Structure 1
Amino acid sequence: MESVHERTILHVDQNAFFASVEQEANPELREKPIAVIGRGRTVVTTASYEARAFGVKTGMTTWEARRACPSIILVVGNNAAYTRISVQIKKIFLDYTPLVETFSIDEAFLDVTGSLRLFGSPERIAHLIKARIRHGFGLTCSIGIASNKLLAKLASEMQKPDGLTVIRPEETARVLETVPIEALCGIGRKTQRQLALLGIRTCGDLGRFPVEILRRRFGVIGERLVMMGQGRDDSPVVPDEEAEEVKSVGHSTTLDRDISGRHDILRYLLQLSEMVGRRARRYGVAGKTVHLTVRYADFTTFGRQQTLPLSTNDSREIYREAVRILDTLVLEQPVRLLGVRITNLCHQREQLPLFHHERCRMLATGAMDAVNDRYGDFSVTFGSLLDNEEKGSFVISPAWRPEGIRNVDVK
């Protein structure tokens, strides 16, 4: 059996992906500082490297971005284009290995261990991938090569843009000695602060720290943290089609503008409930618990949930439960983001309900789904959504996948 230390992993990270796609599509934007924003929003989603040189960062308000870079050009994102190109780039990866794991819309892991006899060195595979992406889409990517996913992702961050970095097993300790712990994927700000209180600031510090102390502080994660500091990671590259079965179906959207009126909130909840219900029906699952997520204008985020007597994937039932949850809340600020999700999933075999009105509703829902499958989401929809010009999602989920239940259609 092959040892995990014999693996060769590539992590491919598209450079400033959204901004680069926009610059390639519009020659007038090339080599200029641009920031991609959501429709009607005031927050930067991605900045081009020309804008980053002025200090423009993801999450900045447009006011902050303009203050940092007065010449910045704001571009409304085209999510459909990003997802289409991401799917096409994945097809390139599959030409070199079937072991491709989509990490996000602009990142992927490739296990090329079994491909080396055919294509030669991992560096050659990386150069071939970079050349095909540049030739086919006019985009650059940074690629990290290492013996595991943790180190491959770290390597891809070391030379941007258009970089190629290799961390060889014998170099791991030397490379990690001075790397800040926050550079490792999986160590967030909260963990970073807790580790800093223990005097741990670099991966070298973390790898040498007594595991017993970290286990007392963090539980079973403590041992995992020490392994990360040593550059050890046994997790395999899991192809998207073999990914763990999803435990929820949900959708959220950052709104065009902060809203506080009940009518506006209900309209968005209905839209989100239909997106969740439709995706659940498409993949034959139903959920028993409905979750509502709310984010205020100041980014305060909270959620509530309610469990139903029976599982459902009916959009109207999901919506009614989301409204009941909403009615238990006292909204203290305008709302910036809304999300609806169902959990406690079960696979559901389709069968006709006992009562006539339920059968009629089920058949009507099926007819709506059939039309929307053929002509696009919301071609047929609820009457209360007809005055809503913006249909679909403005946000791509981090859990996005190019196929399957996590493949959320975006506009």
Structure 2
Amino acid sequence: MDRTILHCDMNSFFASVELLSHPELKHVPMAVSGSPENRHGIILAKNELAKQYGIVTAETIWSAKKKCPDLKLVPPHHEQYKRYSKLINEIYYRFTDMVEPFSIDESWLDVTASLKLFGSGKEIADTIRKTVKSELGLTLSAGVSYNKIFAKMGSEYKKPDATTVISRENYQAILWPQDVNQMFFVGTATAEKLRKTGIRTIGELAQSDKSLLRALLGKHGDMLYDYANGLDDSPVSHCYEKQKIKSVGNGITFKRNLTTMNDIQTALMALCSTVSARLRKYQMKATGVKVDIKDPYFKTISRQKQLDASTNITEEIYAAALELIAVSWSIGNPIRLLTITGINLVDENEQEQLSFFHEREEIRKKGESLDRAMDAIRSKFGGQSITFGGMINNDLGLDIHDNEESEESDSE
């Protein structure tokens, strides 16, 4: 028997929450944006009227204003978004305890065991949409399918405030004609690679030679072939099941561009200190480090490397990140945004092979002891009570260990 899975995706979530406090903006183009003063001047979310002007998330305020000079801007209120996200998921729990949040504004629900109580998958989705709208004043789009991937793609198919059913009988008619970049997990670079081999639609992806996709994209090619053909049996997690964290990162858009090695080292130490502290908080270690760099013209590169040993030590994450930047970025070229991420995480208590280099192990122990001592001081006296000397009175906008305000990217 097939499962019945819903994917519920809030419509223009940040903007819709802001409109609850600013009803006067309901019938004009509006967007939630960062502050131009500290160079977070990008669009974070927009309402449906702003979308009609071609305004997209992550473009600059300057660009958005060129498209729509009358665009109304409001600052973000992240605590409100978290509060409404919790309220929305509490509505989902009325229908099933199999609820798996995918982000702050979207969740998967497995309602297979709830069909006799609440009706078909489509009926449940429609009831949820009506309930969220009547109780919270917000709208969502829902996808209904027999697997998570097609449910997710169903919620994207028709917006706003709609339900789309993607079944074994109709998925080829609905999904296969779409451009390949509409396939879940196909990004811009992957789509370009596929197009160069003549694969332009999801249907052509599904009917491709699997060995060709594997040669082109590695394991990712196998996965995309399966997903395009509806071969996904991944479960929806129980609401009480703790999600395994896959990566821990932190990124900052700086008040001014990084242009010197000293700038980079100062910024790196702040970011790596925060990432390592979060890893220790979660009792995890990273076996790899990833660096994302964006310049003032929004050109972005991403580089990563595996480590010789798993770690949550600031100095080791810093050394790996600095090495990646040194070999992949021309020092002197300006950096607008920098993100450091610990990847491929393992439990910090996982047994590692002992090193024959006793001296190196002693250095690692000292580094870990220092980090944990700083953790204890910050826990008792506050996040800013102790820091590294290079970050005092910096003009980059660094504010480490302020987890609520930083652009953290912990991924589950």
TM superposition score normalised by structure 2: 0.79
Distance between the aligned counterparts of 1:119 and 1:382, measured in 2?
55
Q: Is the 8 A contact 2:314 2:371 kept in 1?
A: no
- Amino acid paired to 1:12: C
What whole-Å deviation, never above 9, does each CA across 1:340-395 have from its counterpart, x for those lacking one? Answer: 2335655446xxx99998898467424334237xx6xx253426556466634443
Q: 1:37 to 1:225 in 2, by over 3 A?
A: same
Q: Given that residues 18 and 36 in structure 1 are in contact (C-alpha distance below 8 angstroms), is that contact kept between their aligned partners in structure 2?
A: yes
Question: For residues 214 and 366 of structure 2, what CA distance do their matches in structure 1 show?
Answer: 57
* Residue type at the aligned position of 1:368: I
Q: What is the rounded CA distance, in whole Å, between the counterparts of 1:14 and 1:99 in structure 2? A: 18
1:250 corresponding residue in structure 2: 249
Instruction: Name the residue aligned to 2:71.
Output: 72
Q: CA deviation at 1:145?
A: 0.9
Whether the 8 Å contact between 1:297 and 1:333 is mirrored in structure 2 is no
Aligned-partner SS, 1:130: helix
Residue aligning to 1:334? 334
CA contact (8 A) 1:79 1:394 kept: no
SS of equivalent residue, structure 1 residue 114: helix
Partner of 1:301: 301
Query: What is the aligned-residue RMSD (CA, Å)?
Result: 3.6
Cα deviations across residues 230-258 of structure 1 (Å, max 9, x unaligned)?
Answer: 44432222347657744543222233443
Instruction: Report the alpha carbon displacement of residue 185 of structure 1 after superposing the two structures with TM.
Output: 0.8
Query: Following TM superposition, by how much is the alpha carbon of 1:7 offset from its aligned partner in structure 2, in angstroms?
Result: 0.7
2:380 to 362, 371, 377: 371
The whole-number CA distance in structure 2 between the counterparts of 1:155 and 1:288 is 35
Structure-1-length-normalised TM-score: 0.79
Alignment partner of 2:27 out of 20, 28, 31: 31
Q: Tell me whether 1:12 sits opposite 2:8 in the alignment.
A: yes
Give the aligned partner of residue 126 of structure 1: 125
Q: Secondary structure at the match of 1:201?
A: coil
Aligned-residue offset at 1:144: 1.0
The gaps in structure 2 that reach 5 residues or longer are 350-360
Change (3 A) 1:379 1:25: farther
Sequence identity percentage: 34
Contact 1:251 1:339 in 2 (8 A): yes
The 3-state SS of whatever aligns with 2:157 is: coil
User: Does the Cα contact within 8 Å between 2:288 and 2:306 map onto a contact in 1?
Assistant: yes
Residue in 1 aligned with 2:88? 89
Give the length in aligned residue pairs.
389
**Residues 272/82 of structure 1: CA separation in 2 closer, same or farther (3 Å cut):** farther
Kept in 2, the 8 Å contact 1:56–1:68? The answer is yes
> 1:22 aligns to what?
18
Q: Which residue of 1 aligns with 2:267?
A: 268
Shift of 1:92: 2.5
Question: Judging changes above 3 Å, is the alpha-carbon distance between structure 1 residues 334 and 74 closer, same or farther for their aligned structure 2 residues?
Answer: farther
1:1-400 equivalent positions in 2, closer than 5 A: 3=1, 6-39=2-35, 40-211=39-210, 214=213, 217-218=216-217, 222=221, 224-239=223-238, 242=241, 245-261=244-260, 264-287=263-286, 291-298=290-297, 299-303=299-303, 307=307, 312-315=311-314, 318-319=317-318, 322=321, 330-343=330-343, 345-348=345-348, 361=370, 364-371=373-380, 378-382=383-387, 384=389, 385=391, 387=393, 391=399, 392=402, 393-395=405-407, 397=409, 400=411
Measure how far apart 1:72 and its partner are.
Answer: 0.8
